[in-house]
């Protein structure tokens, strides 16, 4: 798909007309709530199979053409390249979709098999309702090959609406993680009402993954973690209780999110993971962990020191990197998931954790800070759709920070207070998906479901085949 940034004077009709797509397709792909009120700087997904490729260091046109399954000449012609040898890092290349003319006697099933894609995807790409209603000479678009990834979604909404949320995004998930069972000092677990979510996961062919933790919104949990991790009998009791819940509820694996663990409990935590994996693997359950975003083995701080990247990468089946929350709700305004900072984490992570074990953390919420920020002031957290709606309400242009690859804007409210909003859009989401592909990671983990972001799901499905 293409991503278009709204310019002064643009309307949804003029953009749709230029790219030869309907306004209805544009509204659907972008989840537009205010199609008649586009903002300067707003990013829109153009639902076509064409795309844009940014040349990386060392790439050649031949490599790029091979990756997209088209000819070098098609790229040269589409971009009017005079010297194919003279391409450079950062150059944006328009990559046209592969088009195919149907021959006499051919079926869509045969064409889909030839190109290694599903019949359903071929039909959806070309808006074909009945595969038998095709004719020789018709030209169809062949969708691109996509890498396969695993996708996790944490959810902490246990209201009646939570099952609807799972159904809405079920096609995009491998795992669903209701958050969370909190450990107690004796190794037991506080219960949560997760039955409806587990049933919704099975109905959508999603793997339910139990999540356990040691903290709450008001308690760091470091002392609680110490009591449990440093005592052999309590550790064993906790593992037994995890297994009992998994068997009774139908969970197929566990995600261990112990945060603020004391540095002195680093080895105790590693030992607990080894014991957990040993016992759960015996019963064919998997084990994963959530890790704070470290940029090196010696990073200081309560969040980081006990999270041993090398040990987690060796012991557990996969890890979730919590690559978000730089823009903390109680801190000063900034990008929540700045891509430049995330890449620093990934550069370290892939040296000690197998790439096929790493899930990239992606936040699904926006934040609004009052500025200037004062200690103790808390930012408002809401959905990406609300971020755009608020920009429309105050009629402000959306800006884009090229370093963090994140959109933001400023506005003045009715009380005369200055605000700054940081969120995600099609540009920032695509940049993150490109990073997942560039680093060849296992997949993506979302924190947290329940914040509407239609552009994300449209682009996720366009970039990947979800296992």
The catalytic position among 49, 113, 232, 259 is: 259
Q: Is 49 helix (H, G, I), strand (E, B) or coil?
A: coil
d(CA 172, CA 165): 12
DSSP at 189: B
Taking every pair of C-alpha atoms in the chain, what is the biggest distance, in angstroms?
A: 73
Ramachandran area for residue 127 (φ above 0: left; ψ -120 to 50: alpha; else beta): left
Q: How many Å apart are CA 54 and CA 425, to the nearest integer?
A: 18
366-371 and 358-363 beta bridge pairing: unpaired
C-alpha to C-alpha distance for 411 and 391, rounded to whole angstroms: 8
Report yes or no: 401 and 335 within 8 Å, Cβ to Cβ: yes
Q: Whole-angstrom Cα distance, residue 198 to residue 202?
A: 6
310 assigned to active site = no
Task: Return the closest-CA partner of residue 72 out of 96, 88, 102.
Answer: 96
User: At residue 37, what are phi and psi to the nearest 5 degrees?
Assistant: -130, 60
CA dihedral 16, 22, 27, 29 (to 10 degrees): -90
* CA distances (Å), origin 108, targets 104, 127, 262, 271: 12, 13, 59, 54
What are the φ/ψ torsions at residue 286 (nearest 5 degrees)?
A: -100, 160
For β-strands 43-46 and 2-5, DSSP reports them as antiparallel
Which residues on neighbouring strands pair with residue 466, listed in sequence order? Answer: 149
Give the strand pairing for 358-363 and 443-447. Answer: parallel
Residue with tokens 């795309």: 51
The neighbouring-strand residues paired with 321 are 291, 360
Sign of CA dihedral 132, 136, 140, 146: positive
Which residues are designated catalytic?
A: 259
């Amino acid at each position: 798909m293409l991503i278009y940034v709204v310019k002064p004077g643009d309307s949804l009709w003029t953009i749709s007309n230029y790219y030869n797509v309907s306004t209805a397709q544009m509204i659907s792909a972008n989840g537009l709530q205010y199609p008649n009120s586009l903002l300067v700087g707003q990013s829109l997904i153009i639902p076509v199979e064409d795309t844009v490729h940014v040349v990386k260091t060392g790439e050649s046109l031949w490599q790029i053409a091979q990756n997209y399954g088209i000819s070098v000449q098609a790229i040269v012609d589409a971009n009017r390249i005079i010297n194919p040898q003279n391409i450079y890092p950062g150059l944006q290349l328009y990559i046209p979709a592969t088009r195919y003319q149907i021959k006499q006697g051919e079926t869509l099933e045969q064409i889909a098999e030839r190109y290694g894609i599903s019949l359903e995807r071929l039909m959806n790409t070309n808006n074909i309702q009945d595969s038998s209603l095709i004719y020789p000479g018709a030209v169809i678009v062949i969708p691109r090959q996509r890498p396969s990834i695993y996708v996790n979604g944490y959810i902490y909404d246990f209201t009646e609406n939570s099952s609807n949320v799972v159904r809405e995004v079920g096609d995009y998930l491998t795992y669903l993680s209701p958050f969370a069972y909190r450990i107690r000092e004796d190794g037991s677990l506080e219960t949560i009402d997760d039955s409806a979510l587990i049933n919704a996961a099975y109905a959508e062919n999603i793997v339910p993954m139990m999540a356990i933790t040691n903290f709450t919104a008001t308690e760091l949990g470091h002392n609680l973690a110490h009591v449990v991790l440093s005592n052999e009998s309590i550790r064993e009791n906790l593992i037994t209780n995890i297994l009992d819940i998994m068997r009774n509820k139908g969970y197929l694996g566990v995600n261990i999110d112990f945060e603020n663990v004391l540095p002195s409990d680093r080895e105790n935590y590693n030992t607990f993971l080894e014991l957990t994996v040993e016992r759960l693997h015996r019963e064919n359950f998997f084990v994963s962990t959530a890790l704070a975003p470290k940029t090196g083995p010696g990073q200081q701080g309560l969040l980081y020191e006990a999270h041993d990247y090398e040990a987690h990468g060796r012991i557990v089946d996969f890890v979730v990197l919590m690559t978000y929350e730089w823009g903390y709700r109680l801190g000063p305004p900034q990008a929540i998931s700045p891509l430049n900072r995330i890449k620093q984490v990934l550069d370290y992570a892939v040296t000690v954790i197998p790439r096929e074990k790493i899930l990239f953390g992606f936040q699904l919420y926006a934040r609004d800070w009052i500025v200037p920020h004062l200690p103790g002031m808390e930012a408002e957290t809401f959905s990406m759709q609300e971020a755009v709606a608020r920009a429309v309400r105050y009629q402000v242009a959306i800006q884009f920070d090229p370093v963090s690859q994140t959109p933001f804007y400023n506005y003045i409210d009715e009380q005369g207070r200055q605000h700054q909003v940081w969120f995600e859009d099609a540009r920032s989401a695509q940049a993150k998906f490109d990073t997942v592909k560039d680093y060849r990671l296992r997949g993506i983990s979302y924190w947290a479901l329940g914040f509407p972001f239609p552009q994300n799901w449209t682009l996720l499905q366009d970039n990947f085949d979800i296992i």
